[in-house]
Structure 1
Amino acid sequence: MPSFGRAATAGQGADKAPAPPKKPIYRHLYFWVLVGIALGIAVGLLFPAQGAEMRWLADLFIKLVKVVIAPTIFCTVVVGIASLGNLAKAGGLALRTLVYFTALTVIALAIGLVTVNIMRPGAGLNMSFDEADAADTIAAAEGAEGGISGFILHMVPESFFGAFVDGQLIQVLVLAVLVACALTMLGKRGQTAVRALDTMSHVMFGVIKIVMYTAPLGAFGGMAFTIGEYGGQVLGSLAYFMISFYITCVLFIVVVLGIVSRLAGFSLFKVLRLIRDELLIVLGTSSSESVLPRMLVKLEAAGVKKSVVGLTIPTGYSFNLDGTAIYMTMGAIFIAQATGSDISVWTQIGLLLFMLLSSKGAAGVSGAGLVTLAASLAAFGDVIPLAGIALIVGIDRFMSEARSLTNLIGNAVGTLVIARWTGGLDRDRLREVLDRPNTIDMDALMSYDAEEGAAARAREDGSTATGSADADAEGADAAPAAEATATGGAAVGGEGGDRTPAEVKGG
């Protein structure tokens, strides 16, 4: 993964580093994504028939990103875990990650359950539904294996390359962990493979950099389709349910994630400002998966250790889907209310516990939350009619946007919290980046050549001494790229730590 110069030390560089010159607004990705969203809304409202045909632009953009998602995740996780050099440390990091994700998922499920019972958006509707409207969703849900055994079996692919072909992130993650453990046990003999995978990750990031030029078109197509296809329908009886869901997502983000962020020592709203480009892309495409590679790069640039971000972000996309968790509980109870089904408190608690498991692995692809909800309803078909999923099929696209945004924010906050918890966060660097987000140049970070040039300039400027002092003072797990190249790749910090591409050259 692209590294960044951390020449700043506590109390020194963080305050004295000159601010990079501001780019004109038209050179920022978020500006063009906003333009795409605005044009998409206009086309959807003025020319709904034509707008409804624009979905292929958003689908094309998501497919372009998905092409490199699986190999990027694999390379990033393997390099991140192998760089720890110690399976015990990797296991400790994984355990803490799963504990945090499980706790937040339970909170998200509970908040959705409480809110839908208080607001009761489906009460008194007595709505009818056409099962044919949800035939594909029901078929997909019934075709999936349920229960604990089905979940565990789904984590293992039929073949090594099957996970990459099918794009199953949770399966890719399992393979990456196994390969990383094997390389760690090989010791020095495995470093050649680690360097190769690290280089491959740079290739994938280069592809992502090119693909991101089409993000405004994807946002335009996605928004034009959404407004053109469903714009008039949201004014009906389902609008209150949508509003209830949006309110719940906002409450979760502001209250729960806000408190968690404050306890971890950073501002939630500054984090939102930092990832504004990614939030707008997700808003336009309804898929948090479309910005996964950018999140890997940006959070490492914000001060998170490569080993932490490399494991936490991919895991979060399968195990920390807060928006999907809220949607599942609210959707299930809404269907019960709208169809007049009587659901006891104990049944709702049982539904919550079941969804704690079924929500795992529902990646950030648009529509995955609907299928996961249907699969959960199938397990409680005796009290909630599965065919009731047809009630919310028409508005799922609008719900998908809120789900994806909540999922993305939850994973960004979760990564920073876990990094702080495990000692893998450069707090001075994070403070600087949150105060001045323009210090992160995504184009440069996603370019291997730019990184090498930056390392060379750092050596010429004599930044080695500063970087070494930083590593000693902070107990860092790796030296800056410039120092590692100058010293032939010697490990700094006494822990084996993260190794940048420049570091491993001498390894």
Structure 2
Amino acid sequence: MKLTAIPDRPERTPLYAQLYVQVVVAIVAGALVGHFYPTTGEALKPPGDFFIKLVKMIIAPVIFLSVVSGIAGMRELSSVGRVAAKAFGYFLFFSTLALIVGLIVANVVRPGAGMNIDPATLDAGAVATYAKQAHETTLVGFVMAIIPTTMVSALTEGSILQTLFVAILFGVALSLVGKPAEPVLDLIERLALVVFRLVGILMRVAPVGAFGAIAFTIGRYGAGSLVNLGALVATFYFTSIFFVVVVLGAVARLHGFSILRLIAYLKAELLLVLGTSSSEAALPSLIAKLEDAGCDKAVVGLVVPTGYSFNLDGTNIYMTLAALFIAQACNVELTLGQELLLLGVAMLSSKGAAGVTGAGFITLAATLSIVPSVPVAGMALILGIDRFMSECRSLTNFMGNAVAAIVVSRWENKLDLPRLNARLAGKTPAEPAPAIG
């Protein structure tokens, strides 16, 4: 009997055919077009919007199929509750930690100090739309919005939480029915194979979307807008990098993997998030990659979609940092009690913000409207550079959810750690060789 050796490394794909290389080239080309031909750059907004709409089209089916098959496959409903409890415990701790980190950095660096802005001179009308949206976002409204009009509308209206809500109920029902529901579960798993293949097809046009989105951003706002209020942008990027590399890096090390290797493993998705300024654009691909790297399918299906609404590390850092920047710029001195109130309000208002462009700005407006010490009109100061900070928010949120899914899988003893580290190292995990002859 002969054994066929399994290669340690997959066959190399030429550089030009690798998605992340194509996205890098697209981002650079888009930035150059936006900088040198701003009018043309602004006109290239449709390709970016086109790609994001394509991805949003597939997000609801991906979440529904992943969560339903995962829950039904657990068999024991107690496992679902246990995973959810661990995930929310993780989300609460690290979301709060992100808020505290932003608060500390803002007090140490004081990026807004010395600007001496008179709030009366600010254009309150520029942020009126965001303030109105924030005012309409109440706790009761948020909870009611989780419940869809019909089960089908949850899959058609594009709400992650509604899709997740229906998927959990459907998965629990399948699990309770048991053996008679096995044909339905088999159909769902087969549909999932088709949908994830469709995700792979859609990802091939990611460079076009990234090119259009970056060209529009640079063309509309100009690279020079990064110079204005550069201290805030630099502070936010530094704080976010610190949080991912040091804080999440320590969590990763404690759980047996490297954050830097995870970043390298997810490089194509991160570049996609950077190009489109939306972490949702890479959600289907993130789920597929985490499962392929040895994370439990059911855990990933629960943790990642839920984390997109409840585990927004980048948004939390931004909210406390931006709020204190506005206060400092307007010479508003906050007491420790007021800063703690700001932190508490931000912790509540940030929950449910989707990982899409502008969501962080709206939740900031919601937070400031409840803390009257800081003028909401001060948001006009950062309106012009919010798009650039939105990219960093999305990247940080994305990495936070990737780490969360791996950690919760490890807590559940459902993480294939050797496979994970082999994938992160760029190797194919060793598998039993098939017998021939």
TM-score (norm 2): 0.93
Which residue in the other structure is 1:103 paired with? 93
Distance in 2 of aligned mates of 1:169 and 1:393: 26
The 2-side partners of 1:156 and 1:109 are apart by: 28
CA deviations on 1:44-85 (whole Å, 9 max, x unpaired) are 111112112222211111110001111211111111111000
Asked if the contact 1:151/1:358 (under 8 Å) is kept, the reply is: no
**For the Cα contact (< 8 Å) 1:70–1:164, is it kept in 2?**
yes
Aligned partners of 2:342 and 2:226: how far apart in 1?
A: 30
**1:190 paired residue number:** 181
2: CA distance, partners of 1:154 / 1:385: 29
Cα distance in 2 for partners of 1:255, 1:77 equals: 31
1:210 to 201, 204, 211: 201
Q: What CA distance in whole angstroms lies between the structure 2 residues aligned with 1:193 and 1:459?
A: 31
Q: Which of 116, 141, 144 matches 1:153?
A: 144
Among 330, 350, 359, the alignment partner of 2:321 is 330
CA contact 1:138–1:387 (8 Å) conserved in 2:
no
Secondary structure of the residue aligned to 1:123 is coil
Change (3 A) 1:422 1:348: same
Question: Which whole-Å CA distance do the structure 1 matches of 2:344 and 2:180 have between them?
Answer: 45
Secondary structure at the aligned position of 2:257 is classed as coil
| One of 254, 259, 272 as aligned partner of 1:281 | 272
Give the letter aligned to residue 132 of structure 2.
A
Larger RCO: 1 or 2 (CA < 8 Å, sep 6+): 2
* Matches of 2:388 and 2:226, distance apart in 1: 12
What is the CA RMSD across the aligned residues, in angstroms? 2.0
Please list the CA deviations of residues 149-172 of structure 1 after superposition, one character each: whole Å capped at 9, or x if unmatched. Answer: 343223222332333332111121
Q: Distance in 2 between the 1:258 and 1:241 partners?
A: 24
CA 1:166–1:305: 2 relative to 1, 3 Å: same
Matched, 1:390 2:415: no
Query: Contact 1:155/1:170 (CA < 8 Å) preserved in 2?
Result: yes
Moved more, 166-175 or 335-344: 335-344
Task: Give 3-state SS (helix, strand or coil) of 1:364's partner.
Answer: coil
How far does residue 459 in structure 1 lie from its aligned partner after superposition?
11
Picking from 58, 61, 70, the partner of 1:71 is 61
How far apart, CA to CA, are the structure 2 residues paired with 1:232 and 1:34? Answer: 18
Amino acid at match of 1:361: G
**In the alignment, does 2:21 pair up with 1:54?**
no
Aligned residues: 429
Report the counterpart of residue 391 of structure 2 in structure 1. Answer: 401
Q: Is 1:416 aligned with 2:409?
A: no
Matched, 1:223 2:224: no
After superposition, what is the alpha-carbon deviation per residue over 1:248-280, rounded to whole angstroms, capped at 9, x for unaligned? Answer: 101101110110011001111110110011011
Task: State the shift of 1:365 in Å.
Answer: 1.1
How far did residue 235 of structure 1 move?
4.7
**Residue 174 (1) aligns with residue 172 (2):** no
Deviation string 1:15-67 (CA, Å, 9 cap, x unpaired) is: 96432221111110011101101101110111112112222211111110001
Go from structure 1 to structure 2 and tell me whether the alpha carbon gap of 1:94 and 1:257 turns closer, same or farther (over 3 Å shift): same
> What letter corresponds to residue 163 of structure 2 in structure 1?
V
Rounded Cα–Cα distance in structure 2 between residues aligned with 1:349 and 1:194 = 48
User: Structure 1 residue 129 and structure 2 residue 122: aligned?
Assistant: yes
Mapped contact 2:112–2:232 kept (Cα < 8 A): yes
Distance (Å, rounded) in 2 between the aligned partners of 1:98 and 1:462: 45
Q: Percent of counterpart pairs with the same letter?
A: 45
Deviations 1:163-222 (A, max 9, x none): 333211112111111111111111112222222222222232232222111100111111
**What is the match of residue 364 of structure 1?**
355
The one-letter code matched in structure 2 to 1:182 is A
8 Å contact from structure 2 (residues 294, 417) kept in 1: yes
Kept after mapping to 1: 8 A contact 2:123/2:380: yes
Q: Decide which of 112, 115, 123 is 2:105's aligned counterpart.
A: 115
The counterpart of 1:139, out of the listed 121, 126, 132, is: 132
Distance in 2 between residues matched to 1:335 and 1:166, nearest whole Å: 35
SS of equivalent residue, structure 2 residue 149: coil
Question: Structure 1 counterpart of 2:70, which letter?
Answer: G
1:196 alignment partner AA: L
Residue of structure 2 equivalent to 1:425? 415
Amino acid at match of 2:36: L
Task: Verify: 1:41 aligned to 2:56, yes or no.
Answer: no
In structure 2, relative to structure 1, the CA distance for the partners of 1:126 and 1:232 (3 Å cut) is: farther
Structure-2 separation of matches of 1:251 and 1:144: 31
Q: Which moved more, 1:386-395 or 1:397-406?
A: 386-395
| Aligned partner letter, 1:359 | S
Q: Give the Cα separation in 2 of the matches to 1:254 and 1:20.
A: 28
Q: Secondary structure at the residue paired with 2:239?
A: helix
Instruction: Specify the code of the residue in structure 2 equivalent to 1:397.
Output: R
Matched, 1:240 2:231: yes
C-alpha contact 2:35 2:223 (8 A) present in aligned 1: no
Residue 378 of structure 1 corresponds to which residue in structure 2? 369
Deviation by residue 1:90-132 (Cα, 9 ceiling, x = unmatched): 1111111111111110111110111111111112213342122
Query: 1:331 and 1:157 mapped to 2: Cα distance?
Result: 33
Residue 471 of structure 1 aligns with which residue? none
Structure 1 residue runs without a partner (length 5+): 1-12, 441-457, 464-507
SS in 2 for 1:132: helix
Q: CA deviation at 1:356?
A: 1.6
TM-score norm. by structure 1 comes to: 0.81
Instruction: Please give the secondary structure, in 1, of the residue aligned with 2:103.
Output: helix
Deviation at 1:460, TM superposition (A): 11
Kept in 1: contact 2:48–2:210 (CA 8 A): yes
For 2:152 and 2:409, the matched residues in 1 are separated by 31
Over 3 Å counting, the alpha-carbon distance change for 1:388 and 1:234 in structure 2 is same
Aligned residue for 1:394, secondary structure, equals helix
Shift of residue 236, structure 1, vs aligned partner: 4.6
Please tell me the residue identity of whatever aligns with 2:211.
F
